[in-house]
Structure 1
Amino acid sequence: MTTPDGHSHLIQSTILVTGGSGGLASRILQLFAERGCEHLHSLDLREPSHYLPGVNYHTGDLTNADTIRQLFANVQPKIIIHTASPKFDAPSPILHQVNVEGTRTLLQIARESGTQCFVYTSSASVISDAQTDLVNADETFPVLLEQSQQPEFYVYTKALAESDVLSQNQRRATHPFLTCAIRPSGIFGVGDLVVLPGILDAYFRGQTQWQIGDNRNRFDFTERTNVAHAHYLAAAALLAQLEKCHDSPGVQEDEGDDDKTKVDGEAFFITNGEPRCFWDFTRLVWGFAGDTTPRERVWVIPRPWALRLAGVLEWACWALGLGQPSLTQTKVRLSCMTRSFCIEKAKTRLGYRPVVGLEEGLQRAVEDCLRRRATEDEGLKKRS
């Protein structure tokens, strides 16, 4: 791994990570600490499940302007890593309040308080309508900012927030405020509560003999450490650009770096760079958990049939008040879509290379999921 130009400045800078008690943010804080950053702060509504040494923890509501303003007055962060977000299935008003309004509040207070660098955790899905295949998609693809284009409200709010963050980028040497966005795809890793547990649920239900679609669709996933690494590189790159702004007081937003090296005001797709056919990835997860189902015993359900079945199950569960079924039309579409992304821009401009391989990361993450599940099962037995 090459050392970013802004590395030494990053070590000395005060860094605030929002959503710091979450899985990705915790890994970001841990990685930054491992690389020598000494002034790390975390902001979250809740206390972390475990405290990392060297990190200062603060509790507060991102949408409360007075709370955030007071925190900035006390901490005086130079760099913001903004990862805070409700879960994807949170109610729409909460998603909009936190992801959109909360981000706008944070941007305003950060600028007022003298913060100079802002890295936003976006999503690769901001260019996806959840129906159209994405084949090696890059950052030239338009972000879908209309709610009618985004069937998932969570993704819609992430797209709006990313647009707000990048629009605030400003190089003026008197008050520079440099921003960029990281767009990871399919985050998994140790502590994962979404991607791998959902896949493993099917394994524990004995459903590994089923497959939806022909498994020709390639999908990009990203190990959590690689996402944290990308945030580190982005923060260092913004700091390096910041030094250029100070050294060249006449530089304006439309001047400076060649387009092929520009980081501020830009978005970057981040993946493991190892796209796999969706069901190959899924069976890799099941295999690490102990599944031995031979391929010749796998029953393939065509996508149109699976969509009809999911529609019936959704209607039945809704009518009976049973909540969401394990098979939904959204899950069918996603499991049959191609979602691969080009990470050349991140490689060229950030110096990004994955530091944890796909299978290495998966094996560790699956082992962690199994341990946590065993601990939870043991706890249930004791309580009963």
Structure 2
Amino acid sequence: MQSLGNVLVVGGCGFLGSHIVNLITKRHPQTQVAVLDLRTTSNRHASSNVSYHDGDITDAAAMKTVFSQLKPDAVIHTAAPHFDLPPEIHDKVNVGGTKVLLQAAQESGVKAFVYTSSASIILDPRTELINADERWPLCTGDDQPEYYTTTKAYAETAVLQANRKPENFLTCSIRPAGIFGERDVQTLPHMVKAYRKGQTKFQVGDNTNLFDFTYVENIAHGHILAVLALLHSHQMLPTVPLDTERVDGEAFFITNGEPTYFWDFIRAVWHEAGDRLPLSSVWHLSADTAWAIGTILETLFWLVGKKPNLTRAQVRYSSMSKYHSIAKARMRLGYAPLVSLEEGIKRGVQYILEAEKKAGEKKGQ
């Protein structure tokens, strides 16, 4: 398809959102893309088919005006506050902001609404995720160790409950796992920073835990496939697809389909950044010992208002299995990863190295 109509990408100046904008303009060049973000100064696309609009998604009156002016056929909602912000911000933006967008979309005749959720909304403190699929229950409240993730689950629930209300308003949710790539601000930069600090000689656990990391373009691809599927279902209204084919009202895990041993991924990142430390020189720290150290460090750093390099959450993630089935996305969305894990690591790390080089050259001028 040359055009998806008018598509509004909420959070389109962010990491994932900007990759979605890039992929839409590349694969559906006649699509009119509008980007809505709190500030639209970064990650802007040069295409004449892309427009930028500043706005706060928690402001209902402002969103009503934006939607009435832009008249989008489809909305892709990727906006979310930073993980480390206070709980009240997560409530306000993830839950409240999503409900504001849903209402504005319903009232303005939007056909398709795709929400960016999180694969972690089924993760509790005790259960490892082994090829987990969409039938697993959501984990929220006291059972969910991260409040941010609880609010993502509440927002997803609101999105799926809004499906076919009204009848011509179709919604679905995409659950990415372990996102990384160019313009990444969390995953790869921290790993490269650890390499720069000479921290590649340490490892927590025995590296037998499989983990999902997903290249950002594959996640963007999953979102666009969801829009296509919802628009197709919209054309078939009032028909309701078979349960085995249905996309509207459904959630989908999107990963690279290449679960890898946790430390293998990190060492691949370090290798691409220049690390050549032999595995025989790596010190293995048991998960229990690392947990005890993390507990002590968190307590000490909390007293001075800082965050240590080793936390209990990091120990948990680095020593547990967490990978998901993408069979549902393959079957119903026609999803298949576009970029391999190896190629994604190469692209993401090279982007960081080139940015460091440019920064160094600019500083030396």
Tell which deviates more after alignment, 161-170 or 87-96: 87-96
Kept after mapping to 1: 8 A contact 2:226/2:247: yes
The SS at the match of 1:111 is: helix
Q: Could you tell me how far apart the structure 1 residues matched to 2:283 and 2:317 are?
A: 19
The answer on whether the counterparts of 1:117 and 1:235 sit within 8 Å (CA) in structure 2 is yes
Structure-1 separation of matches of 2:214 and 2:175:
10
Q: With CA pairs under 8 Å and 6+ residues apart, which has the higher RCO, 1 or 2? A: 1
Query: Could you say which residue in structure 1 is the equivalent of 2:87?
Result: 92
> Given that residues 112 and 170 in structure 2 are in contact (C-alpha distance below 8 angstroms), is that contact kept between their aligned partners in structure 1?
yes
The percentage of counterpart residues that share the same residue type is 46
Q: Deviations over 1:19-57 (max 9, x none)?
A: 111011111011111112421100001123243112110
Counterpart selection for 1:102 from 97, 105, 111: 97
**Residue aligned with 1:110, SS:** helix
Q: TM-score of the superposition, structure 2-length normalised?
A: 0.96
Change (3 A) 1:326 1:379: farther
Q: List alignment gaps of at least 5 residues for structure 2.
A: none
Contact kept? 1:188, 1:365, Cα under 8 Å: yes
1:172-187 matches, within 5 Å, as 175-187=167-179
Say whether the 8 Å CA contact 1:150–1:156 is kept in structure 2.
yes
Contact in 2 for aligned 1:192/1:369 (Cα 8 Å): no
Name stretches of at least 5 consecutive residues in structure 1 with no aligned partner. Answer: 1-6
Q: Does 1:206 align with 2:189?
A: no
- Give how far 1:87 is off: 1.2
Distance in 1, Cα, partners of 2:31 & 2:286: 54
Match of 1:133 in 2: 128
What's the counterpart of residue 207 of structure 2?
A: 215
* 1:239 alignment partner in structure 2: 231
1:109 Cα shift? Answer: 1.1
Map of 2:325 onto structure 1: 342
Is the Cα contact below 8 Å between 1:182 and 1:231 reproduced in 2?
Answer: yes
Q: Could you tell me which of 119, 138, 141 is aligned with 1:147? A: 141
Alignment check: 8 A CA contact 1:134 1:341 kept:
yes
CA contact (8 A) 1:16 1:42 kept: yes
Distance 1:131 1:197 in 2: 28
2:110 match:
115
Alignment RMSD, CA only? 1.5
Aligned to 1:3: none
Counterpart of 2:338?
A: 355
| Count of residue pairs brought into register by the alignment | 362
Write out per-residue CA displacement over residues 49-98 of structure 1, whole angstroms, 9 at most, x where no aligned residue: 24311211000111111111111111011100000001111111111100
Structure 1 letter corresponding to 2:131: N
Report what 2:25 is aligned to.
33
TM-score scaled by length of structure 1: 0.91
**Separation in 2, partners of 1:346, 1:212:** 33
- Provide the residue aligned with 2:266 in structure 1: 282
Q: Which residue of 2 aligns with 1:192?
A: 184
Q: How does 1:301-316 map to 2 (within 5 A)?
A: 301-316=285-300
Q: Distance in 1 between matches of 2:329 and 2:183?
A: 25
- In 2, the alpha carbon distance for the partners of 1:270 and 1:135 equals 15
**Secondary structure class of the residue paired with 1:119:** strand
Post-superposition Cα deviations, 1:171-193, rounded to whole Å, max 9, x if no partner, equal 76xx4110000001000111111
Q: Is the 8 A contact 2:18 2:43 kept in 1?
A: no
Q: Of the candidates 139, 144, 162, which is equivalent to residue 156 of structure 2?
A: 162
Q: Deviations over 1:269-300 (max 9, x none)?
A: 00001110000001000000010110111100
**Is the 8 Å Cα contact of residues 20 and 48 (structure 1) preserved in structure 2?**
no
CA contact (8 A) 1:130 1:334 kept: no
1:185–1:220 CA contact under 8 A, matched in 2: yes
